[in-house]
Amino acid sequence: MLIKEVASPIDLRKPEDAAQWASEVNIKRPWRYAFFDYYAELIQQSNARNVLEIGAGPGYLAKHLLERCPNIHYTAFDFSEAMHDLSRNRLLANELQRTRYVVGDFKQPDWGDPLTTYDVIIMHQALHELRHKAYAMDFHHIVKTTLLNPNATYLLCDHLFAESAMTNNELYMSKQEHLVSLQQAGFTQIEISLEIKGLCVFKCHLFVITSSIQWASRRPLA
């Protein structure tokens, strides 16, 4: 199937475009910080140590997590070195000591090669940078099969395709489309854990069956 990607109106690899995006994003959507608080609380409660953010951008979430979760080691993955530069400038020296920056393009099939495995993986407002929803299932499959530790959590947050949210159904997905894509990638324990003004978090948990060394997922008990 030939997929016609949706072109981006800006190039976040350019320093000027990255800086403009960073200056506007929290003004446009100040409720982003409710999501950041949710992520930090989940990390604190789970005692997670290794955290990966995919599509890390200018470091707003990095700063939030590193301040509130002093025991984590945080990895920022982004295709834009300009975004990483903004992030580095945002963090204190002791926060930078717990941070690793990786430049990579998650549209490429080998994008996960320079990464390790993690207790929590967060993708906040970045899935649509695949530039077409048809790529989402393969992306999630790579996360599930190569990047998650046993008992890890994958937190996917993006804009929804809905009347009150985004209207491009090639780029953005409905709740049902997100659920189907995650299920097709092999996740079975999925819940919608937070939704505010068209931004929605899908929480996927991966755990190990104790009687086997194989990794598996299961549905919550009724």
Instruction: Say how many C-beta atoms besides its own lie within 10 A of residue 25's C-beta.
Output: 15
| Length of the chain as a residue count | 222
Radius of gyration (C-alpha) of the chain in whole angstroms: 17
- Domain assignments of the chain as residue spans, ordered by start: 15-21+31-216
Tens digits of residue pLDDT in 108-149:
999 999 999 999 999 999 999 999 999 999 999 999 999 999
Q: Are 96 and 88 in contact (CB under 8 A)?
A: yes
pTM for the predicted model, two decimal places:
0.91
Q: Which two tokens stand for residue 3?
A: 């997929």
Amino acid of residue 54: I
Orientation of helix 60-68 relative to helix 32-46, angle to 10°: 40
Give residue 150's pLDDT: 93
Angstrom distance (rounded) from CA 183 to CA 159: 19
Give residue 2's pLDDT: 80
Instruction: Using the predicted structure, report yes or no on whether residue 217 has a pLDDT greater than 90.
Output: no
Give residue 77's pLDDT: 98
Return mean pLDDT, the chain: 92
Question: Higher model confidence: residue 218 or residue 118?
Answer: 118
Instruction: Write down the architecture of domain 15-21+31-216 according to CATH.
Output: 3-Layer(aba) Sandwich (3.40)
